[in-house]
Amino acid sequence: MGWHYQIRQREDKGQVWYDIVEVYENPTGWTRDSIAPSGETPEELMMCLEMMLKDGKKYPVLWRRCHD
């Protein structure tokens, strides 16, 4: 199963927000909630942030309208 991070644009009650989610290739889909960077060490945290930044630049923005 492959995955990557991707920026998501979402609209909720007329307000536009951006966050980052994990996108999966098989099965296709993405996490419902946004993802926070994390790691077991400061170095792992920095690697996670770097991967988020790299993927955020590489993949197009997802769009989702919330129905709250």
**Distance (Å, rounded) from C-alpha 42 to C-alpha 46?**
6
The tally of domains found in the chain comes to 1
φ, ψ at 40 (rounded to 5°): -80, -15
User: What CA–CA distances, in Å, run from 44 to 10, 23, 51?
Assistant: 28, 20, 10
In sequence order, what are the residues at sequence separation of 6 or more whose Cβ sits closer than 8 angstroms to the Cβ of residue 49?
37
Q: What is the pTM of this model?
A: 0.83
- pLDDT category of residue 67 using cuts at 50, 70 and 90: very low
Average pLDDT value for residue range 60-68: 69
Residue range 1-51, pLDDT digits in tens: 699 999 999 888 889 999 999 999 988 899 999 999 999 999 999 999 999
The range of the structural domain enclosing residue 51 comes to 3-65
| Residue 28: closest CA among 8, 48, 3 | 3
